[in-house]
Structure 1
Amino acid sequence: MLEDRDLKSIQMARNLVQKAKKAQKELAEYSQEQIDNLVSELAKAAAAEAQPLAELAVKDTGMGIVEDKVEKNLLASTGLWDYIKDMKTVGVVREDREKKITEVASPMGVIAALVPSTNPTSTTIYKSLISLKAANAIIFSPHPSAQECIQKAVDVLNKKLAELGAPEGLIGCMDIVSLEGTSELMSHEDVSLILATGGSAMVKAAYSSGTPALGVGPGNVPAFIERSADLDKAVARIMQSKTFDNGTICASEQSVIVESCIKDEVVELFKKENAYFLDADESKKVEDAIQPAHGGLNAAIVGKSAQKIAEIAGIEVPSNCRVLISETGGVGPDYPFSREKLAPLLGFYTVENWEEACDLSMEILNYGGLGHSLGIHSKNEEVIRAFSLKKPTSRMLVNTPTALGATGKTTNLAPSFTLGCGSKGGNATSDNITPLNLFDRRRIAYGVRDVETSTPQTQTATSNSNLKDSGEEELDIIIDKILEKLSQK
């Protein structure tokens, strides 16, 4: 029997959808200029609150670093706006006069959004902006442990919408969160699409809801340092990426692969960057902290500092330690350092050449990271190309921190906090999701050629004539044979 809270959550979902549907119909009448003005002002409003929202996110979830969450909030607001501002998302979005094809944007309608606790405020800002840019309304089902900061981000955006005179209900958020309420939201007949960012179970639920969904898979990202790389920069970039917001971005490196000929130098460079290499006993204790007996990832370590994780594991590390590294001999459930960890923890592998690194990278990706991302540090374009042709990933990030590169901070990829993993990762897209993924295209195609065909009557007459001729020939043959036999008697 459902409890009152569950029933209230279900009713809230229905009410929010009703309001959003009405508001979206009004938004759909906006011009491109009006939409752009709206989204531009929302980006500015979110950027202005980047610091307090980051502080609240850390307080609310106990994860990450305030300064890094500020950077994520800015990337999700002004950084994103700079990328999408010139996108055509309303009315005619493409016209090919030569081929006589015109494409018209058609908003999807009401979007349901699932938000993780690892990147709560930045994901809320980002999904709001891309949805409204495509003339959609959006409703958030927040992660329970990040509910306060997600609601605050929604409040900031709604305050600006009210000031601009926008329809009420364009951005909604469930403040009574339950499994039943979220299920009602995802399966509601007036919800057109689900944007699912979070754990595998959440994404699977979204795909199973009966509503079209754009979900993303986990990222178990290997980073290969090849012998030709600028080793100082490679190590510094990996450390920057792995410590950014305490490793909460799913595109952050989870394992490092090095060639044996450069191993000693790479190890020393990591140590200079205040990485701590665990001995066998310490590694076992940290492995137990990463992956308890039940086999899942221990949520207590996610987004925590290296010192805090060491404390949880019961080991002592230097006070300036930034990342814990364990030399790892295999991949799979028996090797916790080989999995996605979402914390400043790295598995460390040594191989003899890039071919071995290629095979090992695929093995790691197959263990919980298919379709997501891969990092490589190299100056050898032939090796880079070989990696790009073989790896089951949607993003291969070259000479850049993978967490920052995949999300568009240090590359020209679209700024995004929803990174598709394609069919290999069980996702509907391999894109960094943008407004271009959030509207349908109505195509108007003019006839450019006629096809000449015979009329049905002519075809029938011809066919019958052919049959008649064929029959007469056979009859003549039979008659000739009979006459021949008669003449022989």
Structure 2
Amino acid sequence: MRKEGAKLELDNDSTSIKEMLEAVRLAKEAQAKYQEFSQDQVDRIVKHVAEAAYQASEKLARIAVEETGMGVTEHKKIKNELGSMGVYQSIKDEKTVGIISENKKEKITEIAYPFGVIAGIVPTTNPTSTAFFKTLISLKSQNAIVVSPHPSAVKCTVEALQVCHDAAIEAGAPEGIIGWISRPTMAATTELMHHQDIQLILATGGGGLVRAAYSSGKPAYGVGPGNVPVYIDRSANVSKAVKLIVDSKTFDNGTICATEQAIVVHKNVKEMTIRELKNNGAYFLSASEKALLENVISPIRGKLNPAIVGKSAERIASMSGIKVPAGTRILIAEEDSIGKEIPFSIEKLSPIFALYTAADLEEAKKICQELLNIGGRGHSLALHTNDDDVTRMFGLEMPVSRVLVNTLASIGAAGATTGLTASLTLGCGSYGGNITADNITARHLINIKRIAYGIKDVEIPKPSQSIEKRVSNDEIVEQVIKKATGNQMKNIDTEMITQLVKSVIEQYQKS
């Protein structure tokens, strides 16, 4: 039986790899044609793809929830709309083809050129919206893309890519410009990332996959995990803050990596915060219930149970043997410990909160820092305050790439409720071991060559005569000594000869 299973796995790998190789071949051929397109042609294709994706948002949201069992259809629809027209609006006016800027004063001309064929790795938590997003920014930057979907989200991801592909071809793009693996395996995904014709990797997924992308030897944009703390300052509008936090946490059942994971509350507003949380559908766990849920969050300490990801609070409570009122939106337990072995303090990707109490601002910063240190460095932090000094302090001191103030962190980080660039791939910078702290977009997928004219005159000095003379003097001395010793002069004082010759030469040069 084991041999049959191994053979089946090998057969699946072989089929998947063959499909990948063909997709890359076609993508390379298509991209060679596509890079000859004008900016207008590219923009027309990108717009048509974005509109088609937007129109399919609701249908694909439904398919994604049915296939993965994660999230909320209405919320995935919003993510699909952000990943399509939201992304389009943020990139539509960017120049990405040919000459993109001319600085007449500095006499610098910038010319964009694409990477070529991009490998896109798509996660199970946000499959269709990420497929839209990566396709659009690749097309905008004149690249082709080949996508490896998550095995648990193949149907919805391929459906999303098919929508994009058909719209692109209809708008005049070359056949093969968007490709995918319809039966993905880890072997095929690994081969895709190492393929000689892949020039860049866009990796969204687990830590192991992102590390594999970075170790492939190719340029790669990957993202670190999120473990976003949210601090409720004593100056905050608590009622408004709590509503935003609960809405954010329950958005798509917490599947977005920028979603808040732990609440840190100033002791002065703790009672009010607890009251408002309960008013917004929170259920506070007793000590015994907390212990039950800990074993469901992390049966093996330090590892998240994937079975709870994207599930509702009521569903997770039922899995834990906890009875909660109908309509419960989030599960909360008070916590005072932090560590990878503390289930409530890790990234949970579900509507579960830890609640920490801070005696003052310094303790609040310390708690947030420790939460980020166990997973989430470089990603994001949420803040509810009306004190600009507090905002600046957190901005300067926290090891994150985004500080989201008085908004929903989950979708605010992606640009839905903030002025940040609309993106489904959020860089974590050097804090998180990433090459950039930006929200990844089309400009990250182009190279820029520069024509630079000379604008400054520089006088290059000639070697000084004194140096030449010193060199020639030394040579003369050396020749005299050689000649003297060559004639077998006995009891010769070479130091005396050296001084004598130099003295004669100096007298000669003065005359």
Provide Cα deviations, 1:17-45, integer angstroms capped at 9, x if missing partner: 11000101111011111111110010100
Please say which structure displays the higher CA radius of gyration: 2
Question: Match of 1:389, as an amino acid?
Answer: L
Question: Match of 2:237, as an amino acid?
Answer: D
**Residues 118 and 249, structure 1, Cα contact 8 Å, conserved in 2:** yes
Question: Match of 2:298, as an amino acid?
Answer: Q
Provide Cα deviations, 1:170-217, integer angstroms capped at 9, x if missing partner: 111101211111111100011000000011111011111121110001
Moved more, 423-432 or 366-375: 423-432
Q: How does 1:409-424 map to 2 (within 5 A)?
A: 409-424=416-431
Provide Cα deviations, 1:420-455, integer angstroms capped at 9, x if missing partner: 111111111111000010011111111222332234
Q: Which residue of 2 aligns with 1:122?
A: 129
Question: Match of 2:392, as an amino acid?
Answer: R
Q: In the aligned structure 2, how far is the partner of 1:449 from the partner of 1:303?
A: 60
**Residues 301 and 340, structure 2, Cα contact 8 Å, conserved in 1:** no
Q: Which residue of 2 aligns with 1:483?
A: none
Question: Which secondary structure does the structure 2 equivalent of 1:29 belong to?
Answer: coil
The TM-score, its normalising length taken from structure 1, stands at 0.94
Any gaps of 5 or more consecutive residues in structure 2? Answer: 1-6, 478-494, 504-511
- Report the CA distance between 1:468 and its aligned residue: 9.6
- Report the CA distance between 1:103 and its aligned residue: 1.2
Is 1:396 matched up with 2:379?
Answer: no
Provide Cα deviations, 1:286-315, integer angstroms capped at 9, x if missing partner: 111100125311011000000000011110
Q: Which residue of 1 aligns with 2:485?
A: none
Question: Which secondary structure does the structure 2 equivalent of 1:376 belong to?
Answer: strand
% of aligned pairs identical? 49
Q: In the aligned structure 2, how far is the partner of 1:118 from the partner of 1:388?
A: 29
Q: In the aligned structure 2, how far is the partner of 1:24 from the partner of 1:478?
A: 72
Is 1:257 matched up with 2:260?
Answer: no
Of residues 300, 322, 343, the one that matches 1:315 is 322
Question: Match of 1:249, as an amino acid?
Answer: I
Q: In the aligned structure 2, how far is the partner of 1:273 from the partner of 1:31?
A: 52
Q: Aligned Cα RMSD in Å? A: 2.1
Q: Which residue of 1 aligns with 2:160?
A: 153
Question: Which secondary structure does the structure 1 equivalent of 2:199 belong to?
Answer: strand
- Report the CA distance between 1:469 and its aligned residue: 13
- After superposition, the Cα gap between the structure-2 partners of 1:460 and 1:272, relative to the gap in structure 1 and judged at 3 Å, is same
Q: In the aligned structure 1, how far is the partner of 2:278 from the partner of 2:130?
A: 33
Of residues 31, 39, 47, the one that matches 1:32 is 39
Of residues 324, 349, 372, the one that matches 1:365 is 372
Question: Match of 1:416, as an amino acid?
Answer: S
- After superposition, the Cα gap between the structure-2 partners of 1:294 and 1:260, relative to the gap in structure 1 and judged at 3 Å, is closer
Is 1:19 matched up with 2:30?
Answer: no
Q: In the aligned structure 2, how far is the partner of 1:215 from the partner of 1:286?
A: 31
Aligned length: 479
Q: In the aligned structure 1, how far is the partner of 2:213 from the partner of 2:25?
A: 20
Q: How does 1:238-317 map to 2 (within 5 A)?
A: 238-293=245-300, 295-317=302-324
**Residues 302 and 342, structure 2, Cα contact 8 Å, conserved in 1:** no
Q: In the aligned structure 2, how far is the partner of 1:405 from the partner of 1:333?
A: 26
- After superposition, the Cα gap between the structure-2 partners of 1:174 and 1:478, relative to the gap in structure 1 and judged at 3 Å, is closer
- Report the CA distance between 1:7 and its aligned residue: 1.4
Question: Match of 1:348, as an amino acid?
Answer: L
Q: In the aligned structure 2, how far is the partner of 1:459 from the partner of 1:427?
A: 54
- After superposition, the Cα gap between the structure-2 partners of 1:261 and 1:457, relative to the gap in structure 1 and judged at 3 Å, is closer
Question: Match of 2:58, as an amino acid?
Answer: Q
Q: Which residue of 1 aligns with 2:389?
A: 382
**Residues 328 and 335, structure 1, Cα contact 8 Å, conserved in 2:** no
Of residues 84, 87, 93, the one that matches 1:86 is 93
Q: In the aligned structure 2, how far is the partner of 1:158 from the partner of 1:416?
A: 20
The TM-score, its normalising length taken from structure 2, stands at 0.90
**Residues 382 and 403, structure 2, Cα contact 8 Å, conserved in 1:** yes
Provide Cα deviations, 1:216-252, integer angstroms capped at 9, x if missing partner: 0100000000000111111011011000000000000
Is 1:232 matched up with 2:242?
Answer: no
- Report the CA distance between 1:104 and its aligned residue: 0.7
- Report the CA distance between 1:325 and its aligned residue: 0.7
Q: In the aligned structure 2, how far is the partner of 1:477 from the partner of 1:456?
A: 25
**Residues 120 and 146, structure 2, Cα contact 8 Å, conserved in 1:** yes
Q: In the aligned structure 2, how far is the partner of 1:462 from the partner of 1:363?
A: 68
Q: Which residue of 2 aligns with 1:44?
A: 51
Q: In the aligned structure 2, how far is the partner of 1:459 from the partner of 1:230?
A: 78
Q: How does 1:328-367 map to 2 (within 5 A)?
A: 328-367=335-374
Q: How does 1:185-224 map to 2 (within 5 A)?
A: 185-224=192-231
Question: Match of 1:330, as an amino acid?
Answer: S
- After superposition, the Cα gap between the structure-2 partners of 1:478 and 1:214, relative to the gap in structure 1 and judged at 3 Å, is closer
**Residues 120 and 147, structure 2, Cα contact 8 Å, conserved in 1:** yes
Question: Match of 1:113, as an amino acid?
Answer: G
**Residues 302 and 341, structure 2, Cα contact 8 Å, conserved in 1:** no
Q: Which residue of 1 aligns with 2:177?
A: 170
- Report the CA distance between 1:476 and its aligned residue: 7.6
Q: In the aligned structure 2, how far is the partner of 1:478 from the partner of 1:140?
A: 78
**Residues 237 and 385, structure 2, Cα contact 8 Å, conserved in 1:** yes
Q: In the aligned structure 1, how far is the partner of 2:237 from the partner of 2:24?
A: 53
